[in-house]
Amino acid sequence: MLEDIDETGGMREMDDIDYRVRFDKKWNEFTEAEKQAINAEISRILDSLIEAPSPKWGSIMNTSIEGGKVNQLTGIPGDWSDTPWQPIWEHHGYSDEQAALFFGILWKLRIIERPERWIGIRTTTDHPTFPNRGINLAGKTYFLAK
């Protein structure tokens, strides 16, 4: 389950993603092996966040941070080569922007489908992620609700 907070602070409970038909059309371009590898990696990351939350932050996931991590094989930030994310980039014509949008929507869908209660927030300078700490993360951030 996902409670989604938008850029203006509005909250809604989501049981599916927006623009589902458009998402499914693109997702259907992926092979079953690509889908399985992507879904398995998302599940692995979310499961590890739940099993071993950060002592300071709890279970928190920022999709912009995940997409921009340094590829351990190439040393290049945001390089998805030889990772489960590579097909996302390829299926979007090697467009970083389009791949990133799809990546974020896919994460949102997989979080919605989980049994835990998550809260998602998209931040802006007017509505930072952690206003008391002066921290604003780009993109969408998901927190496991207690």
Per-residue pLDDT tens over the stretch 14-62: 999 999 999 999 999 999 999 999 999 999 999 998 998 888 777 887 7
Pairing of strands 2-5, 118-122: parallel
Strand runs (DSSP E) across 6-97, as ranges? 11-14, 60-62
**pTM summary value:** 0.83
More confident residue, 47 or 126: 47
- Average the pLDDT over each of 5-14, 28-37, 61-70 and give the range with the smallest value: 61-70
HSE, side-chain direction, 13 A CA sphere, residue 8: 2
Task: Using CB atoms within 10 Å of the CB of residue 14, give its burial: 0 to 12 exposed, 13 to 18 middle, 19+ buried.
Answer: middle
- The confidence band for 4, taking pLDDT boundaries of 50, 70 and 90, is very high
Parent domain of 36? 2-144
Domain count across the chain: 1
CA 62 to chain centre: 6
8-state DSSP, 54? B
Eight-state DSSP code of residue 51: H
pLDDT of 135 strictly over 80: no
What amino acid occupies position 127? H
Q: Under DSSP, is residue 66 helix (H, G, I), strand (E, B) or coil?
A: helix
